[in-house]
Amino acid sequence: MSAPVPPGTGDRRRTRGIRAALGRIGAIFVKELIQLRRDRITFAMMAFIPLAQLLLFGYAINTNPRDLPTAVFVRDDSIFARTFLTALRNTDYFEITAVARSEAELDALIVSGAVQFGVEIPAGFGRDLIRGERPAILVVADASDPTATGGAVAALEGLGASLFARELTGPAAKLAAGEQPYEIRVHRRYNPGGETRLNIVPGLMGTILTLTMLIFTALSITREIERGTMENLLVMPVRPVEIMIGKILPYLAVGAGQTALILVFARLLFAVPIEGSLALLLALTMLFVLANLAVGYTFSTIADTQLQAMQMSFFFFLPNILLSGFMFPFRGMPAWAQYVGEVLPLTHYLRIVRGIMLKGAGLGDLRTDVVALAAFTLAAMALAVARFRQTLD
Amino acid sequence: MRPEAAAAGEPAAGPDVVIDVEGLTKSFGGRVVVDGLTMQVRKGLIYGFLGPNGSGKTTTIRMLCGLLTPDSGRGTCLGYDILTQSDEIKRHVGYMTQRFSLYGDLSIRENLEFVARVYGLPEPRRAAQEAIDRLGLANRAGQLAGNLSGGWKQRLALGACILPQPQLLLLDEPTAGVDPKARRDFWDEIHALAGEGLTVLVSTHYMDEAERCHEIAYIAYGELLAQGTAADVIAKAHLATWTVTGPDLAALSEALKKTPGVEMVTAFGASLHVSGRDSARLEAAVAPFRARGTQAWRRDEPTLEDAFIDLMSRSKDNFG
Ligand SMILES: Nc1ncnc2c1ncn2[C@@H]1O[C@H](COP(=O)(O)OP(=O)(O)OP(=O)(O)O)[C@@H](O)[C@H]1O
Ligand SMILES: [Mg+2]
């Protein structure tokens, strides 16, 4: 054993301990920030992607669509039937595009998708109404897209008793003041539950953050490998954990910026409420951003090229969109899909963001989802550190 | 970890041996790239590492600094075990990669500050500024490293390498594509660093650089074929050489290559180097050509290049 060559006497370097580790993390952090700032296109995309997606999907996926095509089958020619149809149009939700002459025809129109609603006014509607027999108007809704029908059905049910105030005179006048003198029987087809009120904007926040965060870090290690800078980085005395933290931190800041941007626009353009605590929403959104950054970083330690890292990101992104409850109602999915959904960060974030924004949920209500997100993040980071290749073998 | 039985004629490892490795072997996908490499480098020496493309120079250097794990073999670098103490090695070794590997989208100053911070230097900004001044890069410190010319990139890379004050420098073809003046400056700097006690292992394809090394090693097909001072390597090749000048050298060269006893014919501009391993046999072989009197024949000392080309052709013979 030959004696180790002693380090130079004037060596005041600190290489051990927390301070030194923080110094190295800081070095990577500053370097990443500079590189980020210098990459003009990426920088522009950071602001552009969330806005473009929010506008595109926020408007394209309208959760409260109006002027829905409606077919009517009127078997009564009283003034009441005509008044009802006029009121129907005036809700703005229904646009009468077809007049059916039989029940079968009405049915066919709905099955073919030509109309979203079929409204059937029964024979003797006016007569029965005056007699106080509460005749039923049958509304058949194509609820395969429950969010599309929700608003319209609510408007229909809200027409109320005053509708026929002018027509109901004489002894029947008391009907106008009392309970709704007719019944609306809504028959939801294809998805009778129909209770999932997808709230697209909070959901969009989750999907936009998933995509952008994932890709940022997915490229971080593979980019170093492809540019040949990895060889230099590996020969420096910096630990895998330090590299990971230093590379993730700048994007946490980017994620915070994107979150602010999305929230402001969600409020300005879509008037989305925030029922719960804004601070809690921001804190948990940062946790979610961290989870995705960790996944992206893990991919980048597994992939050999930037292309592979991108492919992995999309492979991960798809189930996040499809099985998290963003696209389809979570409870409507088969059990296995729900199990898959439970391990995806977006699933938990959607519950958190919808809970806070729409239902005013607090930390206590969201406990399980917060714990799941945190566990997921730690697992991804541990995997990334374990997978990090410290040699070029 | 001193080898118990050092190969005959090699210096025994002492405390001033900085690199001491034995039987290093590395293969990629079943192909042996470095085969049982044993070498020792003493403190303060400039050690040249030569060999044809693909001979395993870069692979060896990477094994020395812990970037690659050898399949077998053992050894120490600065007294630290290359298999288990690569963290320690990384702190005290400066490795300049063959391909430029600083950040092209960071400026010169930012790159140097990054290095200073990662190595935990007490005042990173000042350390970077001093390096900039020493390199003579003061007026372009803000320029992106990726936009520098090849020669300046190499100077910057060397500057970044020595910034954390390493005890051993591993330079992998540091002067490839650098103009002769810049190359000379580069080597002056390397000699100055060695004068301060730094040990330098440098790979190169240039003969003039090989001659500026204190010791050289020649590696081909993963095997170390010769080691020692330039004079040693030439002497050990046991070559006899003639230099021919005059007209019709191309035709002469063709004829000589077919002559038994002549191992090597190399054209050097207006002259031809004719070498053989057996002096008497070579003399007999060239006698008929000399008798023609068309060209001037002169007995000559073999050069380092003659020795290397001979080593290469011999190892190829062994391979085939
Ligand atoms: N990571 C790797 N995977 C597979 N093969 C490799 C790898 N690294 C090196 N090789 C192969 O090992 C051999 C030796 O490569 P090495 O880079 O060590 O040669 P070298 O002596 O540095 O050559 P040059 O003078 O061209 O730089 C080459 O044939 C190369 O293709
Ligand atoms: Mg090489």
A367 and A232 housed in the same domain:
yes
Q: Side chain identity at B269, as an amino acid letter?
A: G
Query: What angle (nearest 5°) sits at the alpha carbon of residue A63, between those of residues A58 and A66?
Result: 110
Kindly give, in sequence order, each residue whose CB lies less than 8 Å from that of residue B60, ignoring residues fewer than 6 positions away.
Answer: B24, B34, B37, B49, B219
How many CA atoms are closer than 13 Å to the CA of B305, on its beta-carbon side?
11
A148 and A122 housed in the same domain:
yes
For the beta carbon of residue A366, count every other beta carbon within 10 angstroms: 21
Q: CB of B58 closer than 6 A to ligand 1?
A: yes
Q: Can you tell me the mean pLDDT for A35-39?
A: 85
For ligand 2, an ion, list residues with CB under 5 A: B 57-58, 98
Q: CB of B243 closer than 6 A to ligand 1?
A: no
The structural domain count of chain A equals: 2
A166 and A301 housed in the same domain:
no
> CA-CA distance, A372 to A342, in Å (whole number)?
9
Rounded to two decimals, the ipTM of the complex is: 0.84
Q: What is the dihedral of CA B263, B268, B272, B276, to 10 degrees?
A: -20
Interval A59-90: pLDDT, tens: 665 556 678 888 999 888 888 888 888 888 88
Boundaries of domain holding A99: 68-189
Q: CB of B222 closer than 6 A to ligand 1?
A: no
pLDDT at A13 over 80: no
Q: What is the pLDDT of residue B183?
A: 92
> CA-CA distance, B166 to B90, in Å (whole number)?
9
A372 and A254 housed in the same domain:
yes
Q: Rounded to the nearest whole angstrom, what is the distance from the C-alpha of residue A238 to the centroid of ligand 2?
A: 24
Q: CB of B53 closer than 6 A to ligand 1?
A: yes
pLDDT at B75 over 60: yes
Give the position of tokens 């293969």. B27
Q: Is A60 a member of any domain?
A: no
pLDDT-derived band of residue A98, with 50, 70 and 90 as boundaries? confident
> For chain B, what percent of residues have pLDDT higher than 70?
94
Query: What angle (nearest 5°) sits at the alpha carbon of residue B206, between those of residues B205 and B207?
Result: 120
Of chain B, the end-to-end C-alpha distance in Å amounts to 35
Q: Is A45 a member of any domain?
A: no
A236 and A292 housed in the same domain:
yes
- Which of A7, A232, A391 lies closest to B102 in CB terms? A232
Fold classification of B240-301 (topology level): Alpha-Beta Plaits (3.30.70)
Interval A176-221: pLDDT, tens: 556 677 788 887 765 444 433 335 777 888 999 998 999 989 998 9
pLDDT at B15 over 90: no
Atom of ligand 1 nearest to the CA of B222: 14
Q: What is the pLDDT of residue B2?
A: 39
pLDDT-derived band of residue A14, with 50, 70 and 90 as boundaries? low
> CA-CA distance, A287 to A293, in Å (whole number)?
10
Q: What is the mean pLDDT of chain B?
A: 88
A230 contact residues in B (CB cutoff 8 A): 101
Q: Can you tell me the mean pLDDT for A90-99?
A: 85
Q: Is A349 a member of any domain?
A: yes
Q: Do A393 and B110 touch (CB under 8 A)?
A: no
Q: Can you tell me the mean pLDDT for A131-138?
A: 84
Of chain A, the end-to-end C-alpha distance in Å amounts to 27
A248 and A383 housed in the same domain:
yes
pLDDT-derived band of residue B64, with 50, 70 and 90 as boundaries? very high
A227 and A374 housed in the same domain:
yes
In angstroms, the Cα distances linking B228 to A6, B136, B192, B204, B238 are 27, 35, 21, 16, 15
Q: Whose CA is nearest to atom 6 of ligand 1?
A: B28
A360 and A246 housed in the same domain:
yes
- CATH code of residue A89: 3.40.1710.10
DSSP SS3 for A38:
helix
Q: Do B117 and A24 touch (CB under 8 A)?
A: yes
Q: Is A56 a member of any domain?
A: no
Atom of ligand 1 nearest to the CA of B59: 18
Interval B95-115: pLDDT, tens: 999 999 999 999 999 999 999
| CA-based nearest distance A301→chain B, Å | 16
A141 and A175 housed in the same domain:
yes
Fold classification of B3-233 (topology level): Rossmann fold (3.40.50)
Q: Is A7 a member of any domain?
A: no
Q: What is the mean pLDDT of chain A?
A: 82
Listed residues A147, A165, A189: the one ending a domain:
A189
pLDDT-derived band of residue B8, with 50, 70 and 90 as boundaries? very low
Interval B236-257: pLDDT, tens: 888 889 999 988 888 888 888 8
Query: What angle (nearest 5°) sits at the alpha carbon of residue A311, between those of residues A306 and A314?
Result: 125
Closest CA to B286 of B260, B266, B306: B260
- Which of B101, B113, B122 lies closest to A229 in CB terms? B101
User: Alpha helices, DSSP H only, in B47-149?
Assistant: 57-64, 86-92, 108-118, 124-135
Atom of ligand 1 nearest to the CA of A393: 1
Listed residues A189, A218, A252: the one ending a domain:
A189
Q: Is A23 a member of any domain?
A: no
Burial A65-94 (b: 16+ CB within 10 A, else e): beebbbbbbbebebebbebbbebbeeeebb
Q: What are phi and psi of A224, to 5 degrees?
A: -65, -40
Kindly give, in sequence order, each residue whose CB lies less than 8 Å from that of residue B139, ignoring residues fewer than 6 positions away.
Answer: none
Q: What is the pLDDT of residue A230?
A: 93
pLDDT at B67 over 60: yes
A129 and A249 housed in the same domain:
no
Q: Side chain identity at B161, as an amino acid letter?
A: C
| Cβ of residue A67 closer than 8 Å to a chain B Cβ | no
A234 and A348 housed in the same domain:
yes
Interval A347-372: pLDDT, tens: 999 889 888 887 788 898 889 999 99
Interval A220-251: pLDDT, tens: 899 999 999 999 999 999 999 999 999 999 99
Burial A328-340 (b: 16+ CB within 10 A, else e): bbbeebeeeeeeb
pLDDT-derived band of residue A147, with 50, 70 and 90 as boundaries? low
For the beta carbon of residue B91, count every other beta carbon within 10 angstroms: 20
A247 and A268 housed in the same domain:
yes
Indicate where chain B has its CATH 3.30.70 domain(s): 240-301
> For chain B, what percent of residues have pLDDT higher than 90?
56
In angstroms, the Cα distances linking A143 to A85, A186, A192, B68, B190 are 21, 11, 7, 62, 79
